[in-house]
Structure 1
């Protein structure tokens, strides 16, 4: 099932996977034998706005602002075929819901990892968010969600996953 993911949940995932994958590129040129690993860690702090995202509860287009922290690690054998990495992004997010004018804000946490070698590979992703807004009558509205996604491949057919799932639950009130 294909879903358009709101970046308020996956903003850190995209940045994290890109940074981790980019960090793995120097593995081809790094010095050392196959018995030694190289590890890089990247941290970042800041605020960014994503455009063209989707509110999970209304389906409307939103532009969330995220303020957060990320830690990304990647480790590899310079003369080998193994690489693995992980990232965590956490922070606060806020957006204006177009149909109501309500400003939702709250916590966002995203985590992911990948492992690759000549025989198999896998990727796992989790995201959790809790956002709320209070209307003019004092009523609190909530958008709470959690997602877990995983995909694993083997060397027999590296284009056809042997395990794949994406489970998301969102509560809107």
Structure 2
């Protein structure tokens, strides 16, 4: 009887140690997954910050160019008005040159103001992609219930996006 109790106790101890090792391994994997997610999140934040910085620089450069063109336009328009107001100067070629320069600068100004805006559909699609990536990370971190819920939300958003696009696009695609 003592022998059987010893064997049972040994089996229980070994099973407990195995369970402890398994739990430790799962916890270690969860920490590694969390560390990877934190690293990925920091990289996404850095990318976003860099993109925003570049957009600000681009906007500032566009504003500088716009101000410069407007100044040149004002100078050319004033020169044209002075040319036309001078009673003795009837050189139409000089006025035509000024008109051409003014037209070119106005086109350039229009080109600068016609900055393409990001398509809201592309922005939403990007967010859906991020949700799918987050779903993967949640699975890896051992949180399948939360991952499933997030995946369902992403799928719902994707269906809504496709439905909205089908209703509002002229070709129905």
Question: What TM bracket, shorter-length normalisation?
Answer: under 0.3
Please state which structure has a larger fraction of its residues in strand.
Answer: 1
Q: What TM-score do you get using the length of structure 1 for normalisation?
A: 0.24
Q: Which structure is larger by alpha-carbon Rg, 1 or 2?
A: 2
Q: What TM-score do you get using the length of structure 2 for normalisation?
A: 0.24
Please state which structure has a larger fraction of its residues in helix.
Answer: 2
